[in-house]
Amino acid sequence: MTVVSGCLCRRSWWWVYNEAMGLLLPGFFAYAVRRLRSGTRLNALYDWTGRYPKDWATVPQAPRLWVHAVSVGEVVAASSVVATLRSCFPKAWILVTTVTETGMQTARQRIRDADAFAFLPFDLLPFPRWAMHRVRPHALILTETELWGNLMHEAKKHGARIVLVNGRISDATFAKAQTSLGQPVYRWLLCHLDLCLMRSELDAERLLKLGVPSERVRVVGDVKLDQPQAKLSEGLKAALRSELGLFSDHLLLIAGSTHEGEEVVLLRVYRQLQPYLPNLRLLLAPRHLERVESVMAMVRAMDLVPIRRSLCTGKPLRSNEVLVLDTVGELAKLYGLATVAFVGGSLIPRGGHNIMEPVLHGVPVLFGPHIDNFRPHADLLLKEGRGFQVRDETELVQTAWKLLVSEPLRRTIAWQAEQLLARHRGAAERVAHAIATLLQQSLATQS
């Protein structure tokens, strides 16, 4: 019996998985209500329940590719893969799904080669089954750690190949997958994968230890590093700085993707540095836009004045004013204005967020000790001196000061970042070609 057919026959763990997901049903319902109340379109209910448009099932284009990217960072990585897949399969029909609203907006803006966009259905039967009837993919392409059991199970039943792209196994996931309960469940999840295209040797080694056959695992590089250097033109920089009320001599500290418990630390850091650097300004970008009001309240509590980015009119930004980003999909671009950047989710145990986004602009990046989700990136940046890990507020003040006061140091880091990124070019092309080879073999077998 093959591994794939074995997956379909392991009904005991499929049953365990579905029992666990059933317990989460109230949580899914609460999540849907919260999303709708926060402004998500009402017809998202059709997506979440797998009731995609019926005419998708009759589209004659082939092959049919379903690419899933959970949120903004994964969408950015998937965009170059989708573009290369389109060049390999000009007549393909490509669906891109996301989970978050910001991910959806970013996907529509950045992925020009997709034919359709939708939210991922909740992983509760019969929703993934209904979705598969409408999409009928030849390949289901999942990014990073998006292993949804029912979605993969139904895809296999429909004959689809399943590929993990930019695969990563975080410290927490690896530990959980080796527990007495986690081990068989993860073996069941992972056995659905036909091809695992991993971002690093560490991630590949972990996958092998979890029981994935070596012939299905390849290290192809990090697609998130295979992005064109995102340096803004001087004209665009000047226009953005003018819009935000920043003068040419202003130093800008951007704290991106922050969570509760981090903004207050950054505000204290700003209060400590600002008297010695009167031209320093701060921009806070909370990870979740629904927290904007609470972040603005924190700013006021520190006797500072919050300014919504969406209301910026070019009025000069004063030293007692703090910018709060309340727009979607703009952070990656605004990093290009930063003198120094801090990436959140890392001072608190959330695993961190994409610490490479500032690096794409040549901007020095700081991050906290909780960086499990981006461990290979952090190790790479620390090894080569392009990034700086801080344990607490004191270290954040000291390291930010060192970078803010030394333009030669920042110039050196920017040049080194460019060399680093150049060494990782081609990952997206390697991913797309590996998928194309797998698909061609599959289509040849079917014909």
Catalytic residues: 74
Quote the CA–CA distance of 246 and 154 in Å, as a whole number.
53
Closest CA to 34 of 96, 101, 97, 98: 101
What the block records as the tokens of 77 is 């990585």
Spatial distance between the Cα atoms of 71 and 98, rounded to a whole number of angstroms: 6
DSSP-derived letter for residue 385 is T
User: What whole-number distance in Å separates Cα of residue 216 and Cα of residue 188?
Assistant: 15
CA 384 to chain centre: 23
SS3 of the chain: helix, strand, coil, percent, to 5: 50, 15, 35
Element at 388 (helix H, strand E): strand 387-389
Name the DSSP letter for residue 351.
-
Q: In this structure, is the dihedral angle defined by the CA atoms of residues 406, 409, 411 and 414, taken in order, positive or negative?
A: negative
Element (H, E) at 139: strand 139-143
Following CA atoms 375, 378, 382, 385 in sequence, which dihedral angle do they give, to the nearest 10 degrees?
160
Closest CA to 197 of 384, 41, 430: 430
CA-nearest of 402, 394, 403, 407 to 272 is 394
Q: Using CA atoms of 411, 415, 417, 423 in order, give the dihedral in degrees to the nearest 10.
A: 180
Return contacts of 275-278, CB within 8 angstroms, 24+ apart: 276/401, 277/251, 277/404, 277/405, 278/319
Q: How far apart are CA 225 and CA 398, in angstroms?
A: 28
Report whether 289 contacts 326 (CB < 8 A). Answer: yes
Q: From the CB of residue 233, how many other CB atoms can be counted at a distance below 10 Å?
A: 9
Closest CA to 72 of 331, 443, 403, 371: 331
From the number of C-beta atoms within 10 Å of its C-beta (0-12, 13-18, 19+), residue 177 rates as buried
Task: Give the Cα separation of 297 and 292 in Å (integer).
Answer: 9
